[in-house]
Structure 1
Amino acid sequence: MPAKFRAALAGIVYCLRTQVNMAIHLAAMMAVIGAGWYFHVQPWEWAALTIAITMVLAAETFNTAVEVTVNLYTSKYHPLARIAKDVAAGAVLITALGAVAVAYIIFGPRLGF
């Protein structure tokens, strides 16, 4: 396995071991995949769900990278460090809300919403 691929996997494993929200996102992903199988979603719906899931997981890893980088730079409180962390967390929230919207569009009618 190439070294860069191993490094990327190590980053994902780091997120899984240290970020509670990553575990929550993975649990949500498994629930969505299970619901997709149960409701026999169409290929275009799988595509939308896959994109939404991928974006949330990627945003969470970028958020972790920002947090670790800021923590490396300073252990003291700094307003710009707080802004960097808050903006990165905001990106996760935006993608998660988008994923909820996609899930609502796809599963809502099947659940009577």
Structure 2
Amino acid sequence: MSSGLKETKKKKKGIGLRYALKGVNFVWAEEKNFKIHSLSAVCVILLGFLFRLSNTEWLFLMFSITIVFVTEMLNSAFESLVDELYPHYHPIAGKVKDIAAGSVLIAAIGAAITGFIIFVPKIIFLIF
């Protein structure tokens, strides 16, 4: 492979990362719920260190946190696109936005259940 082609691929990878970080920054700056989920994630991670979670518990916890972040970002992307395509109310636009928001709700409920399964026994053991 020529060095020019390698250099072009490196630049494209850097640009892709830059766009990805720009997307994360946009969601952080514009979406209140993303900040709430981020604060929750930090608290849960700190609790994980406090309770010295096993590798398996960390795996489930981090997977749950990641799923919530991903669904929140996809929800934001759908909302932005739908708002651009349908500046005025349209039933399909409302349906798409509701479904996307529902995916975040399901992910957050799943993450909360995972957190309860992991932390409640540890808290009960600590209290009693």
Long gaps (5+) in structure 1: none
1:35 aligns with 2:47: yes
Q: Counterpart of 1:94? A: 106
Match of 1:73 among 79, 82, 85: 85
Q: Structure 1: how far apart are the matches of 2:74 and 2:36?
A: 16
Amino acid of the residue matched to residue 46 of structure 1? W
Structure number with higher relative contact order (C-alpha < 8 Å, ≥ 6 residues apart)? 1
Corresponding residue pairs, total: 113
1:5-24 aligned within 5 A? 5-24=17-36
TM-score normalised to the size of structure 2? 0.86
TM-aligned CA deviation for residue 18 of structure 1 = 0.3
Amino acid of the residue matched to residue 38 of structure 2? L
Larger radius of gyration: 2
Long gaps (5+) in structure 2: 1-12
Q: Counterpart of 2:63? A: 51
Q: Structure 1: how far apart are the matches of 2:124 and 2:36?
A: 25
Secondary structure class of the residue paired with 1:108: helix
